[in-house]
Structure 1
Amino acid sequence: MKANRLVLAGSFCWNKDCPDYGLVDQGNIVKYGRTRKGTQRLKCTTCEKVFVENKGTVFYGRHHNPKEILECLAMVAERNSLASIHRIKGIKEETVMSWLREASNHVEQIESLLLANYPLTRVQLDAMWTYVGHKGEKVDIWKNPIEAASGGALP
């Protein structure tokens, strides 16, 4: 399957042996019930293979729900330490790190798609991710910070 645009995981067959593998919106993918946890199952009518709608995402195969994963990733983005996330949410630091690694893989895929399909430079992408990281807020940077001794009065 050649990756040249972003598509939903449930819009193509994931089976590499299927004749319709990677073909988007061919009508061969149908809903096929739900898992015990409520995740939508899908079935390819060509090869009869079944998969879940979150295959290929950060949430695939995780024991925590997507809302909890996103909350933890947002806490990391807000510069909370892994130890503080563990204290607040009760989720192991190693678990959050594995989510971060998986999320970073998806960022790399998104960047490669953007670079391949749009006239963007690496600098423009860095600026975009900085903007996303700051949520569009302008950040004031003090050019001449006032230095005072601890407990000293400001001039």
Structure 2
Amino acid sequence: MARKAKNEPYHQMMKLRATTLSCPYEDCIDHKNKANGNIIFVRKYGTGETQNLFKCTTCKRTFSERRGTPLFECHLPDEKVYQILKCLSEGNGIRATSRIVGVSKDTVGSIINRIGDHMEDVAATLMTNYHLDECQLDELWGYIFKKKRI
């Protein structure tokens, strides 16, 4: 009984997080429909905070919280990933980032590859949906970048 009471705040937090998720399976009728009440928290698995198992009550399938994200099957906590990305975005190299964050340089390289692949997909989607040439997209980015500095 004491163990259940200890885990209650975590379960409440996961119930709240379930309202922000949608079913990742494309053949489910509630695919990408958030806040329908069809996603429930099942349990935590593994040792980290990132391994949370949810279930779609519509299609009855379970999924990881990170499914469909670049961090699916990545065991690093979100905070470590954010630290790696912040260090890299501020101009640190791979080795410096690994020393600062306290992970191996292979881990930093893996995160770069995961995020890079995801960003390629995002860029391809943007170019497809907006019918912009690469030159136009580059000009738009340059304009936005200059606006941020002002």
Bigger CA radius of gyration: 1
Distance in structure 1 (CA, Å) of the matches to 2:136 and 2:75: 36
Greater helix proportion? 2
Kept in 2: contact 1:111–1:125 (CA 8 A): no
> Which of 44, 48, 68 in structure 2 is aligned with 1:35?
44
TM-score normalised to structure 1 length: 0.64
Q: TM-score, normalised by structure 2?
A: 0.66
Which residue in 2 is equivalent to 1:137?
A: 149
Q: Matches of residues 29-108 of structure 1 in structure 2 within 5 Å?
A: 29-36=38-45, 37-39=48-50, 40-108=52-120
Structure 2 CA distance for partners of 1:53 and 1:132, relative to 1, 3 Å = farther
Counterpart in the other structure of 1:11: 22
Letter paired with 1:25:
N
Number of equivalenced pairs: 127
Q: Percent identity?
A: 27
Mapped contact 1:20–1:46 kept (Cα < 8 A): yes
* Amino acid corresponding to residue 104 of structure 2 in structure 1: K
User: In the alignment, is the contact (CA less than 8 A) between 1:35 and 1:41 conserved in 2?
Assistant: yes
Residues in 2 aligned to 1:117 and 1:81: alpha-carbon distance in whole angstroms: 34
Q: CA deviation at 1:50?
A: 0.6
Greater relative contact order (CA < 8 Å, ≥ 6 in sequence): 1
